Amino acid sequence: MHKKHLALAVLVTLIWGLNFPITTLGLRSIDPFVLTGIRFALAALPLVFFIKRPRVNFGYVAAYGVIFGLGMWGVINYGIQVGVSPGIASLIIQLSVFFTLGWGCVLFNEKIRATQWVGALLALIGLGGIIATQQGEHAVLGVMMIVFSALAWSVGNVIIKQSGVKEIFSFMVWASLFPPIPLGLMAWWLHGSASFAQVQASLDLTAVLSILFQVYLATHVAYWGWNSLLKAYPVSTVAPLSLLIPVFGIASSVLILGEQVSTVEWVAIAIIITGLGVGLYRKPAPRVAPDCAHR
């Protein structure tokens, strides 16, 4: 991967890591599905009136929008609300790496290197350590919700790759049209009209800034960057980079929310970082000796 693309990947994962505690600030006063619906409504409007539709089968756009908006972010936010800390949520979502590697192997015939298998195993051990520290029924439910969202993210990665879309920003904007209605229906199904009754009163400065961060940085900038990488590289190369997200997510949750991280969790984080390093390692190409016969 070129250095400029690696720098883009680090910027994207930094934004996504910060997004977990910043989203949590919004969840303190707004229903998770309503908050996510507002995020995607603003991500789509008014830009869809000024940006041409992406030149791909529109089924890809709709499928990605629903899977990404409802299946991933709506479920993540619900998991955080029922008891999973945002830093830990940013870690559990990395199960998507393993799902994505599997999809890349099955659907695109991508070969998984031995170092990627070892890195994935180390990261899985670290994730297992984090999950094992969770206590209480609500936390367990939240963990299961975020595991589901990880699967949804991996499916979204496959849709991007399969669609062959070139207009990445346009794709993200138009896909954002589709989540708000199913997200609103989910909020109504779970909590009825109470989910919407206090939204306007709950939009204090903290909630507004949280929403703006989610829309313009975490959605527009970060997903443009991530999906651009998916377009340029195999999913098995891009997916492991998302393991940087929990590093930034946990660190920012500690700084912004005062989240407590146990010794066991720190050890698990170190194992995951090691797994990332191993998974990304490639042997340098052997140098060809110069032909001395023509000197």
Sorting pLDDT into bands at 50, 70 and 90, what band is 292? very low
Alpha-carbon torsion (198, 204, 210, 212), positive or negative: positive
At 92 the pLDDT is 82
> Within a 10 A sphere around the Cβ of 13, how many other Cβ atoms?
23
Sorting pLDDT into bands at 50, 70 and 90, what band is 96? confident
The predicted-structure confidence for 175-231, as pLDDT tens digits, reads as follows 999 999 999 999 999 888 877 877 777 788 888 999 999 999 998 898 888 878 877
What average pLDDT does range 135-151 have in this prediction? 81
| Annotated domain spans of the chain | 3-281
At 285 the pLDDT is 46
Q: Which amino acid is at 195?
A: S
Model pTM above 0.85? no
Report how far residue 67's alpha carbon sits from residue 81's, in angstroms, rounded to the nearest whole number.
Answer: 20
What average pLDDT does range 88-109 have in this prediction? 78
User: Does residue 41 surpass a pLDDT of 90?
Assistant: yes
Q: Are 252 and 21 in contact (CB under 8 A)?
A: yes
At 287 the pLDDT is 47
Rg from Cα positions in the chain: 20
- List Cα–Cα distances, 138 to 27, 78, 80, 120, in angstroms: 16, 11, 10, 28
What average pLDDT does range 50-67 have in this prediction? 93
Nearest one of 98, 123, 107, 236 to 163, comparing CA atoms: 107
